[in-house]
């Protein structure tokens, strides 16, 4: 079976976003500091049609991000557009007309919506019957490849608590956010062992990769 691979950025005090998430502040007020390291990278900028950038020890993290990934799952907060019904002019995501996924993406929501086909092979499907349903649909769409789970923090925490995550890459950013959404909180159940399989020290961040045993 394909593996569920979680990828998250997190502050030193354990938050994946700051308070006050909105379309204008997708990581909460002040939370964009978690992403500054990635915007400077040439690999990230090329992926988003921008010029310039630098190479450092984080480059391989970007280059490997979608390696052997056939589909993605994300929560409503990560897709964006705010809570509630989608409305007459629905939000189309933070990524413009050509999102960087280039494969099917299954978005968890309480509000039904028709699938949205974007440029470059990305199609957003909106799932109203829960995380496990979204994961099952993503695995079928992935055709044997792995499935990526990018967040947000609440969705990622639910997947960890349910024992669904196989592989986890946490990027630690040296900042205290002081509040927001915690990744490792109220996980419940019996303890799960992890194997640390990689540690990469890079400018402004540390990448830690774990495998759930």
Tell me: the pLDDT tens digits for 22-54? 778 888 899 999 999 998 999 888 887 788 999
How far apart (Å, rounded) are the C-alpha atoms in residues 62 and 49?
A: 15
Positions in the chain short of pLDDT 50: none
Question: Token pair for residue 8?
Answer: 């998250």
On whether the CB atoms of residues 26 and 9 are closer than 8 A, the answer is no
Q: Which domain holds residue 68?
A: 4-83+91-212
pLDDT, residue 190, reads: 66
- What's residue 191's pLDDT? 74
Rounded distance between C-alpha atoms, residue 98 and residue 199, angstroms = 32
Structure confidence by residue, pLDDT tens digits, 162-190:
999 999 999 999 999 999 999 998 888 76
The domain total for the chain is 1
179: burial class by Cβ within 10 Å (0-12, 13-18, 19+)? middle
- CATH assignment at residue 179: 3.40.430.10
Distance of alpha carbon 151 from alpha carbon 95, whole angstroms: 15
For residue 36, how many C-alpha atoms fall within 13 Å in the half-sphere facing its CB?
12
- Helices and strands in the chain: count of H runs, count of E runs: 6, 11
Structure tokens at 167: 């592989």
Cα separation of 185 and 213, whole Å? 20
Residues 6 or more apart in contact with residue 52 via CB below 8 angstroms: 42, 45
């Amino acid at each position: 079976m394909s593996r569920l691979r979680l990828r998250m950025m997190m502050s030193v005090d354990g938050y994946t976003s700051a308070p006050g998430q909105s379309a204008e502040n997708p990581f909460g007020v002040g939370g964009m500091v978690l992403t500054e390291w990635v915007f400077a990278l040439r690999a990230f900028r090329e992926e988003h049609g921008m010029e310039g950038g630098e190479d450092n020890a984080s480059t391989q993290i970007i280059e490997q991000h979608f390696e052997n990934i056939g589909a993605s799952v994300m929560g409503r907060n990560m897709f964006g557009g705010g809570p509630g019904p989608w409305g007459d002019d629905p939000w189309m995501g933070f990524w413009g007309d050509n999102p960087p996924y280039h494969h099917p993406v299954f978005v968890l929501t309480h509000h039904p919506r028709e699938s949205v086909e974007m440029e470059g092979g990305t199609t957003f499907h909106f799932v109203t019957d829960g995380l496990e349903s979204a994961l099952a649909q993503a695995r079928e769409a992935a055709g044997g490849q792995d499935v990526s789970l990018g967040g947000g923090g609440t969705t990622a925490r639910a997947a960890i608590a349910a024992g669904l995550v196989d592989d986890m890459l946490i990027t630690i950013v040296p900042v205290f956010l002081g509040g927001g959404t915690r990744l490792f909180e109220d996980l419940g159940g019996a303890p799960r062992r992890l194997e640390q399989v990689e540690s990469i020290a890079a400018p402004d961040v540390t990448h830690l990769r774990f495998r759930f045993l």
